[in-house]
Amino acid sequence: MRKKVIAGNWKMNKLASEANQFVDEVKVKLPQSDKVEAIVCSPFPYLAQLVEKAKGTTLAVAAQTMHYEESGAFTGEVSPEMLADLGVTYVVLGHSERREYYNETDETVNKKVHAAFKHGLTPIVCVGETLEQREANETMDHVEMQVTKALEALSEEQVANTIIAYEPIWAIGTGKTATSEQANEVCTHIREVVAKLTSKETASKVIIQYGGSVKPANVDELLAQSDIDGALVGGASLEPASFLQLVEAGAK
């Protein structure tokens, strides 16, 4: 039985004091259940302090991106080694906002996935189609290509430990959630793609999240679907109360 993974992606929000307050409040109220894992994906400046605060709790801390090189002349970048050194355990890779504004490509996502595993970080790889692609019936092919490239040259064990977040771009921050059936249809396809690349057994272990306007009002229905194992949440993860409700839904 796969556990549910609820990741709150704060994106470029919160000041240091707000980030601290959030973790102080959430960490003592998290459901103590091995059915669910709760993660906060914080901006870089707060990672060290949040890792400290979350020590000894079930809350995990993620970065929202990273470079694939260990070090070097990459002004402004943060390496996987730096994240691991801080005690960060997850990293979001290939978010559609990184792909759109910062030239993240399937090739760099794949390099980053390899770099993440090299440094003991669990990658959360984002894939998803635009509205135009959905309307042109290209969703399944597009997502298949993104997943295939992201997982290229990984071992089966690494694939089994990769989290894939299906985020239809048209549903991000728009209030338009894919219906749970639409979301599950693509997540099922992703699992079939992983099975084709590796094996049915490996595919059955992969955590596949849905992301795009997830909130307490729709999370139960999404998590009840056969191939949705959690959520990558933006807006509704910013307030402790709604983040906790999402995690509680994952623990049911």
Calculated CA dihedral for residues 192, 146, 82, 51, nearest 10 degrees: -50
Q: At closest approach, how far in Å is the CB of 235 from ligand G3H? A: 4
The dihedral sign for the CA sequence 102, 89, 122, 119 = positive
Tally the C-alpha atoms within 13 A of residue 103's C-alpha that lie toward its C-beta. 1
Q: At closest approach, how far in Å is the CB of 79 from ligand G3H? A: 22
10 is in an annotated binding site: yes
Residue 4: phi, psi to the nearest 5? -95, 140
Would you say 199 or 245 has its CB closer to ligand G3H?
245
Would you say 202 or 237 has its CB closer to ligand G3H?
237
Q: At closest approach, how far in Å is the CB of 240 from ligand G3H? A: 16
CA distances from 67 to 74, 217, 233 (A): 9, 36, 23
11 is in an annotated binding site: yes
213 is in an annotated binding site: yes
Q: How far apart are CA 57 and CA 39, in angstroms?
A: 11
Nearest to 164 by CA among 190, 142, 139: 190
Taking every pair of Cα atoms in the chain, the longest distance, rounded to a whole number of angstroms, is 48
Catalytic hit among 37, 95, 97, 104 = 95
Residue 119 annotated as catalytic: no
Q: How would you classify the pairing of strands 230-233 and 207-211?
A: parallel
235 is in an annotated binding site: yes
71 is in an annotated binding site: no
Residues in touch with ligand G3H (CB under 6 A): 9, 95, 167, 172-173, 211-214, 232-236
Would you say 53 or 95 has its CB closer to ligand G3H?
95
Q: At closest approach, how far in Å is the CB of 243 from ligand G3H? A: 11
**Taking CB positions, which residue lies at the least distance from ligand G3H?**
234
Vertex 5: Cα angle to 27 and 100 (nearest 5): 105
Structure tokens belonging to residue 252:
């049911």
Would you say 46 or 198 has its CB closer to ligand G3H?
46
Helical (H) or strand (E) element with 209: strand 207-211
Catalytic hit among 104, 144, 167, 248 = 167
128 is in an annotated binding site: no
Residue 95 annotated as catalytic: yes
Q: At closest approach, how far in Å is the CB of 155 from ligand G3H? A: 27
Would you say 8 or 203 has its CB closer to ligand G3H?
8
Q: Which residues are annotated as a binding site for substrate?
A: 9-11, 173, 213, 234-235
Q: List the catalytic residues.
A: 95, 167
